[in-house]
Amino acid sequence: MTIKHLSAIALALLIAPAAQASEELAKKYNCLACHQADKKVIGPSYQEVAAKYKGQADASTLLAEKIKKGGVGVWGQIPMPPNAAVPDEDMKALVDWIMAMAK
């Protein structure tokens, strides 16, 4: 095994727990009641959200604000409730996790 292979394995081991932790946060804050990674439920899939914001320099900030404040009209007329109680550190992890789903 080369150092390049070891580096790829090490990176995968570092990323996997972060993704798992972020999915756990989505469960903890009840996000998965309305959203799934790859399909629309009540709200858009996380892949759709990531695609919408992909390439925008301020995407993480915009998405965090939308999650915190909630709203209606961006994805249809079903309102998303505000999630102001999510701590900033958890919000960052959730937004990073969502944005990593962009294709």
CATH number of the domain bearing residue 50: 1.10.760.10
**Domain range enclosing 24:** 3-99
Q: Which residues pair with 80 in a beta bridge?
A: 71
Q: How many domains does the chain have?
A: 1
Q: Which residues pair with 40 in a beta bridge?
A: 35
The structure's pTM equals: 0.77
Q: Closest Cα to residue 20, out of 99, 92, 89, 93?
A: 93
Structure tokens at 7: 């580096």
pLDDT at 98: 95
String of DSSP letters for 17-81: HHHHHHHHHHHHTTGGGTB-SSSBSSS--HHHHHHHHTT-TTHHHHHHHHHHH-BSSSSSSSPBP
Per-residue pLDDT of the chain (103 residues; tens, 9 = 90+): 555 544 555 444 444 445 566 889 999 999 999 999 999 999 999 999 999 999 999 999 999 999 999 999 989 999 999 999 999 999 999 999 999 998 7
